[in-house]
Structure 1
Amino acid sequence: MISIALPDDTLTDWNSWRTPLDQFAQASGLTVCAYDIQCGRQVGPFMTSRTSRLLESGLFWKDDGAATALERRLVVSVLASDQPAQDSICGMRVYAIPLKLLGQVYGVVTFGWVFADFSSPMECEQLALKAGVSGQRLWNEVRLQPPVSQARMQTYTALLHTLVDTIDRQRETIGELSRVNRTRDLFLATVSHEMRTPLSALSMRVELLLKTHADLPEPVESALRAMRVHVRQEAAMIDDLIDAARTLTGQMSIERTALSLGRVVRDAVSTIEGHAHEKAILFTITPADRGDSITLAADGRRLQQVLWNLLLNAIKFTPAGGSLRLAIARGATHVEIAVIDSGQGIAAPDIHHVFGAFTLQTEGNATGLGLGLYIARRIVELHGGTLTVTSPGRDQGSTFTIRLPLT
Structure 2
Amino acid sequence: MINLAVAGDAGIDWDEWVTPLTQFSQASGLTVSLYDVRGWRQVGPLVASSTARVLATSTMWRDDGPGTALEKRIAARVFAGDVAEEGSFHGMRVCSMALTQFGQVYGVLVYGWRFNDFSSPMACERIGAAVGVSGNALWSEVRLESPVSEARLATYGALLQTLAGSIDRQRETIEELNRVNRARDLFLATVSHEMRTPLSALSMRIEVLLKTVPDLPAKVENGLTAMRVHIGQEAAMIDDLIDAARTLTGQMSIARTPVGLGQVLRDALSTVEGSASEKEIVLAVTPNDHGDLVRLEADGRRLQQVLWNLLFNAIKFTPRGGTIRIDISRGAEQVEIAVADSGQGIAADDLPHVFGAFNLQRHANAAGLGLGLYIARHLVELHGGTLSVASAGKDKGTTFTIRLPLK
- Pairwise mapping of residues 102-251 of structure 1 onto structure 2 (< 5 A)? 102-120=102-120, 130=133, 138=141, 141-142=144-145, 145=146, 147-161=147-161, 163-165=163-165, 167-212=167-212, 215-244=215-244
Aligned to 2:13: 12
Distance verdict in 2 for CA 1:154–1:193, change over 3 Å: same
Distance between the aligned counterparts of 2:325 and 2:35, measured in 1? 62
* Structure 1 gap segments, 5+ residues each: 1-5
**Residue 115 of structure 2 aligns to which amino acid in structure 1?**
F
CA contact (8 A) 1:124 1:138 kept: no
Taking structure 1 as the reference length, what is the TM-score of the superposition? 0.71
1:303 aligns with 2:306: no
The runs of 5 or more residues in structure 2 that have no matched partner are 1-6
Alpha-carbon contact 1:100-1:168 (below 8 Å) kept: yes
Give, in angstroms, the shift of residue 106 of structure 1: 1.7
Greater shift in the superposed pair: 265-274 or 82-91: 82-91
SS of 2:178's partner is: helix
How far does the alpha carbon of each residue in 1:361-397 deviate from its partner, in whole angstroms, 9 at most, with x for none? 444574222333454456556xx52454445689384
Contact 1:92 / 1:116 at 8 angstroms: preserved in 2?
A: yes
Q: Which residue of 2 aligns with 1:77?
A: 73
Which residue number corresponds to residue 41 of structure 2? 39
Offset at residue 100 of structure 1 (A) = 2.4
Per the alignment, in what secondary structure is the counterpart of residue 221 of structure 2? helix
TM-score computed with the length of structure 2 as normaliser = 0.71
Distance 2:316 2:221 in 1: 27
Contact 2:28 2:156 in 1 (8 A): no
| Equivalent-residue separation in structure 1 for 2:196 and 2:257 (angstroms) | 28
> In the alignment, residue 138 of structure 1 is paired with which amino acid?
E
Give the partner amino acid of 1:354. Answer: F
Measure, in 2, the Cα distance between the counterparts of 1:8 and 1:398.
Answer: 57
Residue in structure 2 matched with residue 385 of structure 1 by the alignment: 383
Tell me the amino acid that sits aligned with residue 370 of structure 1: G
The residue correspondences of 1:217-296 to structure 2 (distance < 5 A) are 217-244=217-244, 256-273=256-273, 275=275, 285=285, 288-296=288-296
Provide closer, same or farther for how the CA distance between residues 85 and 367 of structure 1 changes in structure 2, counting only shifts above 3 A: same
Q: Distance in 2 between matches of 1:132 and 1:391?
A: 82
Distance 2:66 2:365 in 1: 69
Query: 1: CA distance between counterparts of 2:260 and 2:89?
Result: 77
Instruction: Note the C-alpha offset of 1:314.
Output: 4.2
2:28 corresponds to 1:29: yes
1:77 corresponds to which letter in structure 2?
A: R
The root-mean-square deviation of aligned C-alpha atoms, in Å, is 4.6
Q: CA deviation at 1:233?
A: 0.9
Shift in alpha-carbon separation, 1:272–1:157, aligned structure 2, 3 A? same
CA separation of 1:234/1:188 partners in 2, compared to 1, >3 Å: closer, same or farther?
Answer: same
**What is the alpha-carbon distance in structure 1 between the residues aligned to residue 306 and residue 225 of structure 2?**
27
Preserved contact between residue 193 and residue 242 of structure 1 (Cα < 8 Å): no
Q: SS at 1:272's partner residue?
A: helix
Judge which range, 105-114 or 262-271, deviates more. 105-114
Match for 1:401: what amino acid?
I
CA offsets, 1:134-170, max 9 Å, x none?
768735741xx3x332244334434544553454345
Secondary structure of the structure 2 residue equivalent to 1:271: helix
Letter paired with 1:29: S
Would the alpha carbon gap of residues 185 and 93 (structure 1) be closer, same or farther in structure 2, given more than 3 Å must change?
A: same
Alpha-carbon spacing, 1:109–1:207, altered in 2? closer, same or farther (3 Å): same
Separation of aligned partners in 2, 1:198 and 1:293:
42
Q: Distance in 2 between matches of 1:9 and 1:349?
A: 50
User: CA separation in 2, counterparts of 1:276 and 1:131?
Assistant: 95
Matched residues in 2 for 1:347 and 1:119: separation?
A: 77
Asked if structure 1 preserves the Cα contact closer than 8 Å seen for 2:86 and 2:96, the reply is yes
- 2:4 alignment partner in structure 1: none
Give 1:323 shift: 5.7
- Assess, with a 3 A threshold, how the Cα gap between structure 1 residues 85 and 238 changes in structure 2: closer, same or farther: same
Q: Structure 1 residue 193: deviation in Å?
A: 1.6
**3-state SS of 2:41 partner:** coil
Structure 1 residue 95 corresponds to structure 2 residue 88: no
Aligned length: 382
* Cα displacement (A) at 1:95: 1.2
- The alpha-carbon distance between structure 1 residues 74 and 137, as it changes in their structure 2 partners (threshold 3 A), is closer
Provide the C-alpha distance between the structure 2 equivalents of 1:34 and 1:284, rounded to a whole number of angstroms.
Answer: 75
Counterpart Cα distance in 2 of 1:388 and 1:34:
54
Shift in Å, 1:350: 5.0
Q: What letter matches 2:383 in structure 1?
A: G
The whole-number CA distance in structure 2 between the counterparts of 1:133 and 1:285 is 95
Q: Write the deviation string for residues 161-202 of structure 1: whole angstroms up to 9, x where unpaired.
A: 455345434533542343244224313422332222222232
C-alpha separation in 1, matches of 2:133 and 2:391: 75
What is the DSSP-based 3-state SS (H/G/I as helix, E as strand, rest coil) of the residue aligned with 2:157? helix
Matching residue's letter, 2:10: D
